[in-house]
Amino acid sequence: MQMQQKKPATDCKNTKKYYVGPVATEFVATKTGIWRIERPDVVIENCIFCGTCRKHCPTDVITMEKEGENRGVHFDWDYCKGCGICANVCPKKCINMIQEGSACNL
Ligand code: SF4
Ligand code: SF4
């Protein structure tokens, strides 16, 4: 947890002042994957490897491999919190949010 700023921050035009409260800057003890009640499941046949899901994931847990035996879109299940943003932004609508525990690759 960071200390609250001693001086107020200002906006770009210097017209407003506000304090920034304490913020968590490191997740050292919490694996956000335990929050998950749904998980993303990719229909890889429809994926065009555009990277939109990876770009928008708030926890940066998505990796992609376009070729090879690990070809696919991969998630770090320790930290994917199941927010569904990746599914919402996918232009091919090839990410389905499925109930946690129902993925065949668990
Ligand atoms: S956003 Fe959809 S199409 Fe693009 S890489 Fe992710 S899963 Fe594939
Ligand atoms: S469900 Fe949320 S946290 Fe998990 S991979 Fe998608 S965008 Fe990232």
Percent share of the chain, pLDDT over 90: 60
| Ligand 1 close to Cβ of residue 16 (< 6 A) | no
Q: Which of 11-25, 65-79, 91-105 has the lowest mean pLDDT?
A: 11-25
CB 97 within 8 A of CB 38: yes
Evaluate if residue 65 carries a pLDDT over 80. Answer: yes
Residue 81, pLDDT score: 93
C-alpha angle with apex 92: 86 to 93, nearest 5 degrees?
55
Q: 58 lies in which domain range?
A: 30-99
Let me know if residue 40 belongs to a domain.
Answer: yes
50 inside domain: yes
- Please say if the pLDDT value at position 3 is more than 80: no
> 82 and 39 in contact (C-beta within 8 Å)?
yes
Q: Looking at the 3D structure of the chain, how many domains does it have?
A: 1
pTM of the model: 0.73
Tokens coding 33: 């994957």
- Nearest residue to 81 (alpha-carbon basis) of 29, 35, 40, 25: 35
Assess if residue 81 is contained within a domain: yes
Give per-residue pLDDT as tens, 28-47.
Answer: 667 889 889 999 999 999 99
Nearest ligand, CA 72: 1
* CA-closest residue to ligand 2 atom 8: 57
d(CA 8, CA 17): 6
Residue 77 lies in a domain: yes
Atom of ligand 2 nearest to the CA of 60: 8
- CATH number reported for the structural domain that contains residue 42 in this entry: 3.30.70.20
Ligand 1 pocket test, pick from 41, 42, 45, 52 with the greatest ligand atom count within 8 Å of Cβ, gives: 52
**Inside any domain, residue 19:** no
User: Other CB atoms closer than 10 Å to residue 40's CB: what's the count?
Assistant: 24
Does residue 76 belong to any structural domain of this protein? yes
Whether 1 maps to a domain, the answer reads no
User: Of ligand 1's atoms, which has the minimum distance to the CA of residue 89?
Assistant: 1
Would you say residue 5 lies in a domain? Answer: no
64 vs 86: CA distance, rounded Å: 13
